Copies of this chain bind each other. A is one copy, B any other.
Amino acid sequence: MKRVDLSVGSGGKAMRDFIEGVVLKHLGNHALDGLQDSAILSTPGKIAFTTDSFVIHPLFFPGGDIGKLCIAGTVNDLVVCGARPRYISLAFILEEGFAMDDLDRVLESIKDTAGAAGVKVVTGDTKVVRKGEADGLYINTAGIGEVVRREEGRVIREGDAVIVTGSPGDHGVAVMVARNEFSFEGNVHSDCAPLLNLLPLWEMEGTKWMRDITRGGLATVVCEFAEEMGVTAVLEEGQVPFSPPVRAVAEILGIEPLYLPSEGKAVIVASADGADKVLDYLRGAGGCPEASVIGAVQRKRAAVPVILKTVSGGHRILESLTGELLPRIC
């Protein structure tokens, strides 16, 4: 690849190839390898450290905005790594001429989301570029969390359950609607939210692995899990609790909803005998009534990370997202 194309930012395979082939070639080290969202650092005490840039278009969408998104995204990266989010850095790249009123709205949203998530914005930076050198507002956040996850008993085994915490894909559909890419009458909201409710799962023995669904969708998260762990995951399409708008939009546009991005859902892998307890927590105190077991871990089949048992009874191989489904979705 001689020039950057949009797929490098897709969250899917092209981005992984880019990170492995281009970034890690130069910068590979123990903490950076493995494509985790946060770096677990053994500097004074055990902290997690993560970063994300947000280039979402439009900045405001049903159910959220870039401000809520940038806090939730960073909080979630920490939570799924087993860390309690504590501190956030906030850096703006602003296009000359950006409306201050909009920035006020974004900051208000950042404040509210950070407050609700119990994190503090403790350092920041502002850069402004000339008109035409950015598109309104880009935000970068980095986050630090205290690691609460213990390492014992987290080994992935055949028979482990694959759980999704709720309907995947709502963020993707909400942003498409906000872009007026199609007319859709229905109540569509992004699921964008900080997932602190998942933190107690790290105190349960059954919880083995967790990742929030972002770019690349549910399918990409499960593929990454399977490839990382050297297993094959078998998913039951009929068990995935898609919301009606996601089902409808996927059907109308002919896209695979398993690749639609979320910003407030996660995939959890739990032990076979711990899955019920995890599910009970999620559906109860965890506030995820639609949490469902959607599949199981099996022994690795050559080069097949994920098999999808379709509702029509067939089998399909699922791979990480290739190319770019929705540029600037987060």
User: Which A residues are closer than 8 A to B by beta carbons?
Assistant: 1-10, 15, 18-19, 22-23, 25-27, 29, 31-32, 36-39, 41, 43-47, 49-55, 86-87, 89-101, 103-104, 107-108, 110-111, 114, 120-130, 132-135, 138, 140, 142, 144, 146, 327-328
Contacts and interface: CB of A to CB of B under 8 A. Distances in A.
Nearest to A95: B4
Given A32-B123, A39-B122, 7 more contacts: A5-B128, A26-B111, A39-B123, A43-B47, A49-B89, A53-B93, A140-B142
A126 B8 contact: yes
A120 B8 contact: no
Contact of A1 (B3, B89, B100): B100
Contact of A130 (B38, B51, B327): B327
7 contacts: A3-B98, A19-B124, A23-B107, A26-B107, A27-B111, A53-B140, A133-B328
Determine how many copies of this chain the complex contains: 2
Given A27-B107, A124-B23, A144-B49, A97 B44 contact: no
A79 to B, nearest CB: 15
A116 to B, nearest CB: 14
Contacts of A93: 53, 55, 93, 138, 140
A39 B296 CA distance: 44
A104 to B, nearest CB: 7
